[in-house]
Chain A
């Protein structure tokens, strides 16, 4: 059958290339000797012929166009509309990446405050290769579950300790990565829902601060907003930022799941006067985000830097990283023990984390996935008896309540999500965050695109999403038979066989290294 409907593109292209000039001549003669209106066709054919001849004989960049002419354009046209076609017509509800339609629909429904129940059965395959929550034989009533509460900085007994009442936060997204309407919608939503929001490494968080929500200031490797001209930390500026009443914590970012170990470059074209001011960088010059903090070159200097930031800011200070080599992490924990300095939290970013822009190799091939990294970190902290000195956060595609509870069962005290909140703002997963063309106006500064993002309306959706999550957490906790979030443990989880074998491989490796 396939042969019968097969289209020989080469022959078709040849036919088109021969017939286009002939049709042009015929039309020209028709217009001259027949009715003048035929020249409408003459003109169209004239242009098609000129384009075709240019493709065939003049341009050298596109081999396909050179060989086949205008017909080959069809390929580019089809290719350019391919993603949309696949998304709308051909991909099943569980096929798309990073988030399937089923996953996204749950967020959309929670954000709109409509029923998110499903009928007739799961769309997923059940073959034992997936994590599952193990419920209790004796579930509790939902009202028996104690309200969540987590206090950051209580281990150090500081007066600025920060208490969270919900185990979810908006993960790091800067003004720059997001447009101002998106930042303000999220910040207002966070305020409505009573959760904290991370500012991302976008310098002074002017737009995040506008809505009065609790903020976690992120200190990236370039230290935007609190840097000296050479890229080192400016203590005075950090003190000033930390004295903002809404900034509750500082997060030192060491690496990011989407591109661990990679710095970045802020091209001079993107540095508007506003960006230059907020980030503390000069205009007209590319600014390089180094791969690491200049102060941190080994475990010793890193732990010293953490203590320095804790002392200067006076706030709870966390660190964010994507787990690379577990042995190095273990060394750092030992160094923390030696200096008796611990960050107030560690945020583990899985390699599945999102980003505005990163090379494919870093996105796809670097870093430890969250559900491997999290138990690794948890185990190492336990082995050194320091798990009670700090809190653990987890991040990486944790957009649904089930996944969030799984992360908490693997050791996390709270979870971060960025894309979950973007979806609640109405993200349609167009995958254009790096292009300033976000069709729903979230990751763009184009006023024509951001105008569709109504802050008031979207803030409510953000809050609805959190409330929807909260509703599910408590129901799920009751089903798991756990009275409190901190009772969640690994025996809540069905860990698939291949994850177990990965853990064994890691342990063997650790033993060998020691």
Chain B
């Protein structure tokens, strides 16, 4: 106890508390999106039908989203941010390909005016920011980042 190993080098202290509101925001949107997929809301079903992944893909993505929403509120937030940003990159691929979903989603004959896309984009940006701020907390590779 009388001696202690003091960490040296460029390792910085804990990340600013400012990312917490962001994590909470991302977790709420992501949690809602995940639950709506798992519960089989009409828009989710239509999107995954267009992707040819109904219903198995809907459940997988829904589970990942709910899992990320929970982990984003714990000390494993870095892992949650990694996976949620991955899922949202996937969402971008779906929205930006006009043959698949497209930017404006048509649910029950009505266009959502790009709402799904905007939310996905917001979650993507939020997750990437959280991931960058907390990159050193990632298991295994965190020490090298």
Contacts and interface: CB of A to CB of B under 8 A. Distances in A.
A208 to B, nearest CB: 14
A222 B2 contact: yes
**Taking each of A36, A39, A222, A359, which has the highest tally of chain B beta carbons within 10 Å of its own beta carbon?**
A36
B18 interface: no
13 contacts: A36-B51, A36-B53, A37-B57, A43-B87, A55-B144, A61-B10, A73-B140, A76-B144, A177-B1, A202-B1, A220-B2, A265-B2, A359-B3
A266 to B, nearest CB: 6
Contacts of A11: none
Interface of A: 31-32, 35-37, 39-40, 42-44, 46-47, 51, 54-55, 59, 61-62, 65, 73, 76-77, 174, 176-177, 200-202, 220, 222, 259, 262-267, 270, 289, 356-359, 434-435
Given A37-B57, A73-B141, A262-B3, 13 more contacts: A31-B93, A32-B97, A36-B51, A36-B57, A43-B89, A61-B10, A76-B144, A177-B1, A222-B2, A263-B2, A267-B4, A270-B1, A357-B1
B17 interface: no
Interface string B124-145: 0000000000000000110111
A417 B61 CA distance: 56
Interface residues of B, number: 25
Contacts of B10: 61
Contacts of B116: none
B5 interface: yes
Nearest to A77: B140
A39 B145 contact: no
Nearest to B56: A37
Chain B at the A interface: mostly helix, strand, loop or mixed?
A: loop
A77 B145 CA distance: 15
Given A174-B1, A259-B3, A265-B3, A39 B141 contact: no
Contacts of A289: 2-3
A59 B141 CA distance: 13
B108 interface: no
B52 interface: yes
Nearest to B6: A267
B93, B100, B140: residue with the most chain A Cβ atoms closer than 10 Å:
B93
A192 B62 CA distance: 56
